[in-house]
A and B are shown apart, each in its own frame.
Chain A
Amino acid sequence: MRRNTRDRLTADAALLLAAAAFALPLLWLLLASVNAEADLRVRAPSSFTAENFDAVLTDEITFTPMLNSLLLCGGATLLTVVCAALAAYPLSRHPSRFNRPYLLTILFTTCLPITAVMVPVYGLFVQVNLIDTMYGTGLFLATSQLPFSIWLMKNFMDGVPVVLEEAARTDGASNLQTLTRVVLPLMGPGLTVVTIYTFIQLWGNFFVPFMLILSPEQMPASVSIFTFFGNYGSVIYGQLAAFSILYSAPVLVLYVLIARRLGGGFALGGAVKG
């Protein structure tokens, strides 16, 4: 018993050390955002201030980029989820020779380094005049997230019993009706997870809008954050921290909402990192 206690204390100490290392950069973010004279190191502010937040809460700095992010990622998420739900339905319900290769291709695609595709995507977008358009960028963002969403959606759909669908079908429901009225409501939590997860991934995506969107008034927050460096002369770290918090808040909140359902086994569905 005593050895167990000693083991626990050792583990606690080691974890707290690791926790401190992970906490330091986050601590800087919190402290700098309320410090009028924030610099680069973690420091308690001499007096707390809301100045930094006040300064960045303007149309130009915060509201327009955040709205752009919302339109871009919201639209792309909607498209991804609708397409993924439609695609997952036959894959989950109709056994066929075609399923396995399709799903393997999908899983293979989730693993590809999407970064590598950005140069040819830029070239294609210039040629077909999709460059610097929100909908073009949204279409690509949706596609980049689609393979994983299909995979996840199919796994959730497999968990819905088929019996209820058969009942609906006997009553004369079409495929689409069965999907929207029976299957999707039954997999509500799964659908929520796919939606929120897709949105989180897209919200944080930097490289895609960085490449495909050129005009400043269309920049989402992930790219506009760059203007803190350069455009306004010397960097005002307190404002940068305040803006970072505002920009990160939505995904942190959404993650908390789905964290329990994601768990660890979730990861086995394929590549999950952004």
Chain B
Amino acid sequence: MSSRSKGLWRWVPIAPATVLLLLFLAGPIGYCVWIAFTDTRLTGASGSDFVGLDNFRRAFADDDFRNAVWLTLVFTVVSAVLGQNTLGLALAGLMRAASRPVRTITGTLVITAWVLPEIVAAFLLYTFFRREGTLNALLDWLHLPSQNWLFTLPILAVSFANVWRGTAFSMLIYSAALAEIPRDITEAAEVDGASGPSRVWHITLPMIRRSIGTNLMLNTLSTLSVFGLIWAMTRGGPGNRSQTLPVFMYDQAFLKSLIGYGTAVALLLLLVGSLFSIVYLRLMKVEV
């Protein structure tokens, strides 16, 4: 065997994975690019005609689409950026000061919420937010006004559900990041008389800024693709008041049978995701 062909043989093991990725991931993405420019429908004629940018023009003129973009933005900012990220950081920080049993209890509960299957988490939060549910029982007990959360504030309810489910990830990232800060740096600042909040602002946060970037990016990406949680809790409703882009895409493609249009929305979602991924890879300066 020549050394050249031997060199090629070395790469054979990579083939099965690559074939799968090409067939089932690159394939659908390529197909997505094609279908998004056609008027394919689920029902009726099998034909699909090339319609150019029609689907995209239609999307940007469609109030329901713009509503979905807006709700996706609200959902992402409230649940990923403000919720998971901030709460995760707060929990990780507090855990460093807390006593061991409290740390263990909190960590276990937060991580359990994360490990539970998506659909179980969705049902738990559904019962929690329903009119007859635990949240209102709690509010009644505190003599605070209760309301039908899934009806009055559906997008906030699903956002909180996503915080409940996803905060563990941020907590784990920040726990690891905080553990890497050398103790003598914070101690030195303390000796110099820096107060708690200013220590956090001037020392801790700058030292973990890379983890903050990574975490924000990954939270945003995973929140962009949340479907099951919202679908099980509200089906995107009432009306379209919790219809984020994935739910809108599903609704158009399958319930309204507009595969071409639904795929165009999927393509836009993929583009936004790709953009974030590229920024993330650059930010991390990945070493491979």
Contacts and interface: CB of A to CB of B under 8 A. Distances in A.
Interface string B188-222: 00000000000000000000000000100110011
Given A19-B109, A107-B281, A248-B117, A120 B227 contact: no
A109 B112 CA distance: 27
Contacts, number: 287
Contacts of B176: 263-265, 267
A127 to B, nearest CB: 9
B89 interface: no
A164 interface: no
Given A26-B109, A175-B10, A124 B31 contact: yes
Interface residues of B, number: 98
A175 B13 contact: yes
A42 B124 CA distance: 11
A26 B270 contact: no
Given A175-B13, A274-B118, A115 B225 contact: yes
A99 B117 contact: no
B246 A115 contact: yes
Contact of A139 (B24, B113, B173): B24
A89 B179 CA distance: 32
A123 B262 CA distance: 11
A120 B29 contact: yes
Contacts of A223: 119
A8 B120 contact: no
Nearest to B117: A204
Q: Is the interface of A mostly helix, strand, loop or mixed?
A: helix
21 contacts: A11-B98, A15-B94, A15-B95, A15-B106, A18-B87, A26-B112, A40-B132, A83-B17, A94-B10, A112-B277, A113-B273, A116-B270, A117-B25, A118-B250, A175-B10, A176-B13, A222-B119, A244-B123, A263-B176, A264-B176, A267-B218
Interface of B: 9-11, 13-14, 16-18, 20-21, 23-25, 27-29, 31-32, 35, 40, 87, 90-91, 94-95, 97-99, 102-103, 105-106, 109-113, 115-120, 123-125, 127-128, 130, 132-134, 136-138, 164, 166, 169, 172-177, 179, 214, 217-218, 221-222, 224-228, 232, 246, 249-250, 253-254, 259, 262-263, 266-267, 269-270, 273-274, 276-278, 280-281, 284, 286, 288
